[in-house]
Amino acid sequence: MDAELLLGRLDGVIRTGEGRWSARCPAHEDRSPSLSVRLDGERLL
């Protein structure tokens, strides 16, 4: 999955560094970002 595609489906996305983002978790009510996304080569973690 492309990082832009995944990040486009999340709310409250903020860039936290090179290849790193935080977003509001879609699994529960979140007021602040608690989900971390990291691009590791060709993998999204």
Q: What is the pLDDT of residue 29?
A: 87
**Domain membership of residue 17 as a residue range:** 3-44
DSSP code string of 12-45: EEEEEETTEEEEE-TTS--SS--EEEEEETTEE-
Q: What is the pLDDT of residue 31?
A: 86
CB 44 within 8 A of CB 7: no
Sheet bearing 11-17, strands edge to edge: 11-17, 20-24, 35-40, 43-44
Q: What is the pLDDT of residue 42?
A: 87
Q: Is residue 1 scored above 80 in pLDDT?
A: no
Q: How many domains does the chain have?
A: 1
Residue 22 Cα to chain centre, angstroms: 5
Closest of 24, 1, 26 to residue 14, by C-alpha: 24
pLDDT tens string 11-44? 999 999 999 999 999 999 888 899 999 999 889 9
